[in-house]
């Protein structure tokens, strides 16, 4: 009936005094800075603990392979949530993608596999769009249902189509993998540098070498999709319209934006990316063929990486890298390596504490000291960490980041909000 | 077919009509929002449209901006008759609207907010930014286009809205209650911008119910009352009192001659209550002090949005005070400081609360009536017993309310949403008078209810007052205020600015005080 | 009101829709849907399938109830999965370590499970209330982490016992077990009755207590609840913890009625099934029971499909379709009802509104 209350509320909420606008470092520079800082910390940790695996080529390579599916799912999440749809169904779409990849690759080679994975994932996205956009079903509910359905359909199809060939309903027959390419000259040079055992330089060389050795086209595509997503979403009119649907669909509609259409497109892309994430599990050398339960919650982790990255492409790249690195390190170095990483975390916290002291943020600095103290105690009192808990490093980090920084995160304003045409105002 | 495809033309010379609305009528189910509205706006003028809340201003502007279609009547822009099917048509015709509730996205930058939907004009790159910079200078917007909108204050957001409209080439700009969210200095700055743009040939339609502002900015003023235009005047020659009379109408209520039941026993004491807007210096409530006595109805008059809602929610504990004290004295004379208590504790202390928006604040719409009886009373007899609900008691008492307060319903098991507004409100009044309150807060108690229910609710409030209840009445209905209140306080911009005696005051006088035309004692 | 329509039509529609859609899938894959459905139904009367169904439904039911408590106030406790597994491993360890008289032993184990579940749910609850962290994402993290905690705790270095390839917790003494009832070739969990009691308690809590009222009020309208004196943060905290407490019971029927120890091979995903079952049953204790039975029936009887060379995963697909179409169906019916309502109100208003004036909307002046 009346709108007075709304007005009063909005008036109250909107009278935020303009904050002093700080000079910002450009995003790419910040990314480089973070990467250098990360390598520096790892380098010091590796040097002082004597655990080389922290920065070895092998670790970097494994981390990259493990980060890819997470990265692609996170990008999928980004597209959906920027258009205002929470996509918890990424997991299901990814599972569909794994099956599609194996099936396509088995019949038509890796590229056909990739295409099939994207199509299967996009079908899942389409289903999510029908439920959430057209029928305004709660986004989480629909996502959970899609995860169930994706799993069921995939198992059924695997049973129907793969079982007669592979003899195992849980597995596909061997499928072709993407060829890999190395920047040979550069790689060798970096290899020499790595062997040089010089602090920082050897470490940086090791990590870089891992990233440029035996790289598959899919890997390159996935990484390129980060800047591409950024450019499309932030530098084109289509991207602007898509994001406006996630921020204020009523305003967007009043300005002539077709909100439904943009949400549908966003979810198709989102599903396609998640499907591609599935393909990256199946079609990369070193990964399994289609295997039941091989996604193992990576869709959810992708979503977490996206939130970790504050709904920004660069940030989610960092999130995916963190998750991938934590996994890769554990695979290649085991508990000792993770313990060394803990040492790195202590160094990082020390840096943060210094910064916070400089900024006179006493509470944050104090918490940092306490955290560093706890981590150092763990490091000091243990020779190795339980291998059971290590795989969850990234999850713990995500929880801590959410607890500390959730008020600073900036999700799209209308994320997860049901929108129906003409119901605004 | 529509002629709306015509590109925006430069406004004709000042004086020629640029907008002509003829015989506009718009009906909603049960209500006629506009009936036979005629309006002529000339090029280059600031044309104010005045009227109380609910007079039909907003509907009229939505029609002009293509958001709603009139049932009857014609719209002509720059002399050509148009059919405006949606805002895009209006924009093409050179009409832009600055909404009262800004149509902006917080997480997008200033530039993105402006370019969205108009990317075809100049893209979203360098050309667009250059154009934006020019318009920003024109309107006094100093924020960088790449700033997030979130970081802007209200006044700057409003400038972004204006720039957005200009960017699309509008020459006729509707400002819907633009000053409602601004502090006085910001209002001055806005008016400066408007005057500057007026000099460049822009035409403004300025919606407002603040007469002082209208008089200071407008060249022409048209008054709307009860959905129709009652006249057009020159604000420079007409007095504020005359304008108020046009807005409020001249029919006087028949003041009730009745005995005063006011006692000298305090029930609610507010002293120096302050409420700051979130994250801002601005006070939504500014040192509000008053006392309601047993047997007294204290009426709060004021144009909506001047802090009445906040006052009520502060007393109810739904908002946290920034300062001052709220004290409730019960029947035994025991005074309790309420400031630290939660809403439920305040209700238990003896406050009955009729909220202004019953569907949002008073009812669980899909739940049956007897469940609604429990809301706000979940700790008290007869509907609860300790931690348990007393279903039988709740049903029994709901039946009593239905009977006693004449709630027309097939039964107490129908969901609240199925009742008409009047019957919903009767149920709420019955509920809020059932907990043995010492104080009743009635916020627009008869809004949106039929005449029968209105009379019934008034009678209930009178009876409760006679029985010694203290009543705080907030209403936009001046007849209601004057008819029911023992004392009237006028609220303006979060402060109590004047007091009136309902026995002698006229609605016109009250209207002037409410719009800030005059301060001090009204009568 | 058309309550039967809003309540019963959507699930029925969803089931029919799912049956038809799966039939099409079956036909495409070269099977006879009638055969398949017939086999599934007749399986129910063979061997211990009926008892197994009820046993499994007991687990699903508890999980559905746990989810439903959160749903009542629009809280998404995706974390039932993690909460029940955490509770299971803690209860199994403590139950295996203790040697107490019968009944008391059982009660202690149940108490530990409930507390452990509540504790694990308290993490996202506190994060949400104090730090504004979405419960969805934090519970997803905790769901993953729980696997690590379990692996760690039942490691032979800590509390685990190695038997062949399986590592599990110490076996619980018979004194701590809940005896079953032998029916035909199967054994019905004694826990069925405890689940019924929990369901009854849920109903009572929801419909007869102040807490239940405040919970429902918060779910229906946060604004009205606030004006009615309901403290939103407190409700969030309690609802989440309570949901976790019930989740703590989810693994108990199997732990105390069949397995007697918790191992790495113990079944997962009951928490997610709970979400589906709660959606299907519309958060109503009776509805959840029916949903749980349907779900369990599809799970247990699907095995029989192998006899006619049909993949048993068809049942999973059916479940997925059912849950997705049931939410869509509820949405459609809700919308249709709302439209009918508005038409009715519109007619009523046109009848007695004050004509020709906007006053009835905004008040005189």
Q: How far apart are the first and last CA of chain A?
A: 12
Chains that touch B (3 or more CB pairs under 8 A): A, C
Residue C334 pLDDT class (50, 70, 90 cuts): confident
Q: Which residues pair with B96 in a beta bridge?
A: B173
User: Is A417 or B20 the better-scoring residue by pLDDT?
Assistant: B20
pLDDT for the residue A10: 35
Average pLDDT, chain A: 81
Average pLDDT of the segment spanning B470-479:
84
Residue A373 pLDDT class (50, 70, 90 cuts): confident
Nearest residue, CB atoms, A413 vs list B53, B106, B358: B106
Q: Which region among A45-49, C228-232, C336-340, C350-354 has the lowest average model confidence (pLDDT)?
A: C350-354
Average pLDDT of the segment spanning C138-144:
89
Residue A19 pLDDT class (50, 70, 90 cuts): very low
Percent of chain C with pLDDT over 90: 32
Residue B4 pLDDT class (50, 70, 90 cuts): very low
Average pLDDT, chain B: 81
Q: C182 to chain A, minimum CA–CA distance in Å?
A: 33
A-C interface: how many C-beta pairs under 8 angstroms? 139
Q: How far apart are CA B448 and CA B456, in angstroms?
A: 14
- The residue of chain C nearest to residue B248, with distances taken between CA atoms, is C365
- The residue of chain C nearest to residue A401, with distances taken between CA atoms, is C133
Give chain C's radius of gyration (CA, Å). 23
Of the candidates B353, B358, B351, B274, the one whose C-alpha atom is nearest the C-alpha of residue B310 is: B274
Average pLDDT of the segment spanning C287-312:
88
> Per the structure block, which two tokens stand in for B505?
């005051």
Please answer yes or no on whether A16 and B150 come within 8 Å at the CB atom.
yes
Average pLDDT of the segment spanning C202-213:
91
Kindly tell me if the per-residue pLDDT of A22 is higher than 80.
no
Tracing tokens 């079952």 back to the chain, one arrives at: C277
Q: Give the 3-state secondary structure of residue A26.
A: coil
Kindly tell me if the per-residue pLDDT of C338 is higher than 80.
no
Q: Which residues of A touch B53 (CB under 8 A)?
A: 4
Kindly tell me if the per-residue pLDDT of B423 is higher than 70.
yes
Residue among A247, A252, A262, A419 with most chain B CBs within 10 A, to mutate: A247
Looking at the complex, does the CB of residue C328 fall below 8 Å from at least one CB of chain A? Answer: yes
Helices (H), ranges, A15-56:
27-49
Residues 6+ apart with CB under 8 A from C214: B378, C225, C230, C235
Looking at the complex, does the CB of residue A211 fall below 8 Å from at least one CB of chain B? Answer: no
Tracing tokens 């004509």 back to the chain, one arrives at: C355
Q: Which of residues 271-290 of C touch A (CB under 8 A)?
A: 272, 275-276, 279
Looking at the complex, does the CB of residue C356 fall below 8 Å from at least one CB of chain A? Answer: no
Residue B258 pLDDT class (50, 70, 90 cuts): low
Q: Which region among A17-21, A215-219, B263-267, B483-487 has the lowest average model confidence (pLDDT)?
A: A17-21
User: Is B500 or C238 the better-scoring residue by pLDDT?
Assistant: C238
Residues 6+ apart with CB under 8 A from B90: B4, B64, B65, B66, B84, B96, B97
Q: What is the pLDDT of residues B188-203, one digit of tens each?
A: 888 988 998 888 889 9
Residue C136 pLDDT class (50, 70, 90 cuts): confident
Please answer yes or no on whether B375 and C208 come within 8 Å at the CB atom.
no
The answer to whether B205 touches C338, Cβ cutoff 8 Å, is no
Residue C344 pLDDT class (50, 70, 90 cuts): low
Q: How far apart are CA A129 and CA A112, in angstroms?
A: 25
pLDDT for the residue B9: 42
Nearest residue, CB atoms, A136 vs list C155, C316, C331: C331
User: Is C112 or A54 the better-scoring residue by pLDDT?
Assistant: C112
Q: What is the widest separation between alpha-carbon atoms in chain B?
A: 75
Q: What is the pLDDT of residues A88-147, one digit of tens each?
A: 999 999 999 999 999 999 999 999 999 999 999 999 999 999 999 998 888 988 998 899
Please answer yes or no on whether A5 and B448 come within 8 Å at the CB atom.
no
Please answer yes or no on whether B226 and C353 come within 8 Å at the CB atom.
no
Q: What is the pLDDT of residues C246-263, one digit of tens each?
A: 999 999 999 898 888 888
Q: Which region among A115-129, A193-207, C98-112, C303-317 has the lowest average model confidence (pLDDT)?
A: A193-207
In a 13 Å sphere around the CA of C169, the CA atoms on its Cβ side amount to 24
Kindly tell me if the per-residue pLDDT of A156 is higher than 90.
no
Q: How far apart are CA A280 and CA A261, in angstroms?
A: 29
Helices (H), ranges, A161-257:
163-166, 184-195, 201-212, 217-235, 237-247, 249-254
pLDDT for the residue A7: 33
Kindly tell me if the per-residue pLDDT of C23 is higher than 80.
yes
Of the candidates B171, B244, B176, B217, the one whose C-alpha atom is nearest the C-alpha of residue B12 is: B171
Kindly tell me if the per-residue pLDDT of C201 is higher than 90.
yes
User: Is C42 or A334 the better-scoring residue by pLDDT?
Assistant: C42
Average pLDDT of the segment spanning A298-314:
88
Looking at the complex, does the CB of residue B363 fall below 8 Å from at least one CB of chain C? Answer: yes
Q: How far apart are CA B483 and CA B501, in angstroms?
A: 11
Q: Where are any strands of DSSP class E within B43-126?
A: 46-50, 72-77, 80-82, 95-98
Please answer yes or no on whether C152 and A147 come within 8 Å at the CB atom.
no
pLDDT for the residue B183: 65
Phi, psi torsion values for C288, nearest 5 degrees: -65, -40
Q: What is the pLDDT of residues B146-159, one digit of tens each?
A: 888 888 877 888 88
Residue B141 pLDDT class (50, 70, 90 cuts): confident
Looking at the complex, does the CB of residue B360 fall below 8 Å from at least one CB of chain C? Answer: yes
Please answer yes or no on whether A152 and C317 come within 8 Å at the CB atom.
yes
Q: Which residues of C touch B418 (CB under 8 A)?
A: 1, 341, 344
Residues 6+ apart with CB under 8 A from C357: B31, B32, B226, B227
pLDDT for the residue A132: 92
Q: Which residues of C touch A136 (CB under 8 A)?
A: 331
Please answer yes or no on whether A140 and C313 come within 8 Å at the CB atom.
no
Q: How far apart are CA C325 and CA C280, in angstroms?
A: 10
Phi, psi torsion values for B98, nearest 5 degrees: -100, 105
Q: Which residues of B touch A250 (CB under 8 A)?
A: 103
Please answer yes or no on whether A1 and C361 come within 8 Å at the CB atom.
yes
pLDDT for the residue A246: 92
Please answer yes or no on whether A425 and B143 come within 8 Å at the CB atom.
no
Angle made by CA atoms B258, B260, B265, in degrees to the nearest 5: 160
pLDDT for the residue B279: 59
Residue A286 φ/ψ region, left for φ over 0, alpha for ψ in the -120 to 50 degree band, beta for the rest: left
The dihedral sign for the CA sequence C231, C234, C236, C242: negative
């Amino acid at each position: 009936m009346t709108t007075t209350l709304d007005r009063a509320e909005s008036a109250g909420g909107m009278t935020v005094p303009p904050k002093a606008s700080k000079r910002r470092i450009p995003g790419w520079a910040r990314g480089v800075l973070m990467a250098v800082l990360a390598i520096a910390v790892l380098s010091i940790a590796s040097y002082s603990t004597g655990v080389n695996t922290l920065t070895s080529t092998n670790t970097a390579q494994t981390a990259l392979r493990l980060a890819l599916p997470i990265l692609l799912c996170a990008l999928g999440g980004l597209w959906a949530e920027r258009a205002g749809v929470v996509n918890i169904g990424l997991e299901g779409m990814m599972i569909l993608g794994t099956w599609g990849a194996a099936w396509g690759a088995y019949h038509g080679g890796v590229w056909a596999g990739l295409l099939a994975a994207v199509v299967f994932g996009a079908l899942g996205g389409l289903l999510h769009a029908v439920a959430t956009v057209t029928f305004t079903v709660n986004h989480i509910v629909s996502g959970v249902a899609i995860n169930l359905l994706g799993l069921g359909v995939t198992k059924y199809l695997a049973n129907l189509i793969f079982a007669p060939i592979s003899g195992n309903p849980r597995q596909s027959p061997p499928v072709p993998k993407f060829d890999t390419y190395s920047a040979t000259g550069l790689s060798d040079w970096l290899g020499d540098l790595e062997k040089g055992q010089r602090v920082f330089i050897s470490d940086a060389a090791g990590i870089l070498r891992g990233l440029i050795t035996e790289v598959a086209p899919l890997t390159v595509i996935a990484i390129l999709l980060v800047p591409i997503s950024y450019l499309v979403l932030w530098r084109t009119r289509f991207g602007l319209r898509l994001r406006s649907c996630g921020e204020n669909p009523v305003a967007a509609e009043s300005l002539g934006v077709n909100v439904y259409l943009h949400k549908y497109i966003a979810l198709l892309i989102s599903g396609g990316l998640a499907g591609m994430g599935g393909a990256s599990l199946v079609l990369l050398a070193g990964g399994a063929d289609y295997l039941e339960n091989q996604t193992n919650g990576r869709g959810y982790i992708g979503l977490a990486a996206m939130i970790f990255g504050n709904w920004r492409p660069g940030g989610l790249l960092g999130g995916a890298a963190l998750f991938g690195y934590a996994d890769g390190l554990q695979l290649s170095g085991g508990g000792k390596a993770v313990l060394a990483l803990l040492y790195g975390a202590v160094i990082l916290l020390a840096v943060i504490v210094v910064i916070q002291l400089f900024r006179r943020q006493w509470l944050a600095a104090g918490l940092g000291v306490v955290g560093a103290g706890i981590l150092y105690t763990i490091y000091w009192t243990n020779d190795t960490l339980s291998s059971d808990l290590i795989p969850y490093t990234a999850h713990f980090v995500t929880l801590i980041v959410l607890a500390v920084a959730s008020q600073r995160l900036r999700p799209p304003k209308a994320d997860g909000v049901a929108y129906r045409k003409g119901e605004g105002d | 077919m529509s002629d709306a495809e015509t590109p925006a033309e430069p406004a004709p010379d000042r004086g020629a009509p640029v907008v002509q609305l003829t015989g506009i009528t718009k009906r909603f189910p049960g209500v006629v929002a506009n009936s036979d509205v005629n309006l002529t706006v000339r090029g280059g003028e600031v044309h104010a449209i005045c009227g109380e809340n609910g007079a039909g201003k907003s509907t009229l502007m939505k029609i002009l901006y293509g958001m709603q279609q009139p049932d009857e009547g014609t719209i002509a822009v720059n002399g050509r008759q148009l059919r405006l099917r949606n805002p895009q048509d209006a924009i093409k015709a050179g009409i832009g609207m600055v909404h009262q509730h800004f149509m902006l996205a917080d997480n997008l930058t200033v530039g993105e907010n402006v370019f969205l939907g108009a990317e075809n004009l100049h893209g979203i790159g360098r050309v667009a930014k250059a154009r934006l910079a020019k318009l920003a200078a024109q309107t006094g917007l100093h924020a960088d286009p790449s700033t997030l909108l979130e970081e802007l204050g209200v006044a700057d957001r409003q400038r972004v809205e204006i720039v957005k409209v200009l960017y699309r080439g509008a020459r006729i700009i509707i400002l819907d209650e633009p000053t409602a969210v601004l502090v006085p200095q910001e209002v001055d700055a806005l008016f400066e911008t408007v005057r500057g743009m007026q000099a460049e040939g822009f035409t403004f339609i300025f919606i407002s119910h603040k007469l002082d502002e209208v008089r200071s900015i407008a060249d022409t003023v048209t008054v709307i009352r009860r959905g129709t235009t009652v006249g057009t005047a020159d604000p420079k020659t007409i007095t504020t009192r005359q304008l108020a009379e046009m807005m409020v109408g001249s029919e006087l209520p028949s003041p009730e001659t009745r005995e005063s039941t006011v006692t000298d026993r305090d029930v609610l004491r507010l002293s120096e209550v302050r409420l700051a807007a979130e994250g801002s210096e601005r006070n939504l409530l500014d040192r509000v002090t008053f006392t309601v006595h047993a047997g007294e109805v204290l009426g709060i008059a004021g144009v909506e949005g001047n802090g009445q809602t906040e006052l009520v929610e502060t007393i109810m504990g739904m908002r946290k005070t920034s300062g001052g004290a709220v004290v409730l004295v019960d029947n035994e004379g025991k005074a309790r400081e309420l400031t630290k208590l939660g809403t439920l504790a305040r209700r238990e202390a003896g406050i009955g609360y009729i909220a202004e928006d019953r569907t949002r604040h008073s009812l669980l719409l899909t739940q049956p009536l007897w469940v609604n009886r429990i809301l706000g009373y979940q700790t008290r007899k007869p509907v609860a017993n300790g931690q348990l609900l007393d279903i039988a008691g709740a049903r029994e008492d709901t039946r009593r309310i239905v009977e006693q307060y004449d709630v027309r319903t097939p039964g107490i098991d129908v969901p609240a949403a199925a009742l008409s507004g009047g019957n919903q409100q009767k149920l709420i009044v019955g509920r809020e008078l059932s907990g043995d309150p010492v104080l009743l807060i009635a916020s627009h108690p008869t809004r949106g209810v039929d005449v029968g229910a209105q009379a019934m609710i008034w009678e209930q409030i009178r009876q409760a007052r006679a029985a010694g209840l203290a009543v705080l009445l907030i209403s936009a209905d001046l007849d209601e205020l004057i008819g029911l209140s023992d004392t009237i306080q006028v609220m303006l911009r979060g402060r109590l600015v004047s007091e009136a005696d309902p026995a002698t005051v006229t609605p016109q006088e009250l209207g002037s005080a409410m719009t800030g035309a005059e301060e001090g004692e009204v009568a | 009101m058309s309550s039967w329509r809003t309540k019963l039509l959507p699930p029925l529609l969803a089931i029919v829709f799912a049956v038809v859609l799966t039939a099409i899938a079956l036909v495409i894959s070269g099977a006879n849907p009638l055969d398949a459905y017939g086999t599934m139904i007749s399986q129910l009367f063979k061997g211990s399938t009926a008892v197994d169904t009820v046993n499994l439904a007991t687990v699903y039911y508890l999980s559905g109830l746990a989810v439903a408590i959160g749903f009542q106030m629009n809280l998404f406790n995706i974390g039932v999965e993690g909460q029940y597994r955490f509770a299971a491993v803690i209860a199994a360890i403590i139950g295996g370590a203790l040697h107490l008289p019968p009944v008391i032993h059982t009660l202690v184990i149940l108490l530990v499970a409930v507390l452990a579940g509540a504790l694990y749910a308290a993490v996202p609850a506190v994060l949400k209330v104090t730090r504004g962290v979405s419960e969805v994402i934090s519970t997803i993290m905790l769901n993953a982490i729980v696997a690590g905690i379990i692996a760690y705790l039942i490691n032979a270095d800590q509390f685990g016992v190695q038997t062949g390839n399986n590592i599990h917790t110490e076996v619980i003494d018979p004194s701590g077990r809940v005896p079953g009832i032998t029916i035909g070739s199967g054994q019905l969990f004694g826990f069925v009755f405890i689940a019924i009691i929990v369901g009854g308690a849920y109903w009572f809590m929801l419909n007869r207590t102040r807490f239940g009222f405040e919970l429902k009020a918060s779910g229906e309208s946060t604004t009205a609840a606030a004006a009615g004196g309901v403290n939103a943060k407190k409700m969030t905290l309690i609802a989440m913890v309570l949901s976790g407490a019930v989740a703590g019971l989810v693994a108990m029927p199997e732990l105390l009625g069949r397995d007697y120890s918790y191992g790495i091979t113990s079944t997962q995903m009951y928490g997610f099934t709970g979400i589906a079952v709660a959606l299907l049953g519309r958060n109503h204790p009776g509805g959840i029971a029916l949903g749980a039975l349907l779900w369990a029936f599809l799970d247990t009887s699907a095995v029989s499909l192998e006899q006619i060379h049909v993949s048993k995963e068809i049942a999973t697909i059916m479940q997925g379709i059912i849950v997705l179409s049931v939410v869509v169906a509820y949405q459609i019916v809700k919308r249709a009802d709302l439209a009918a309502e508005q038409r009715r109100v519109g007619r009523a208003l046109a009848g007695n509104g004050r004509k020709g004036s906007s006053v009835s909307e905004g008040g005189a002046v």
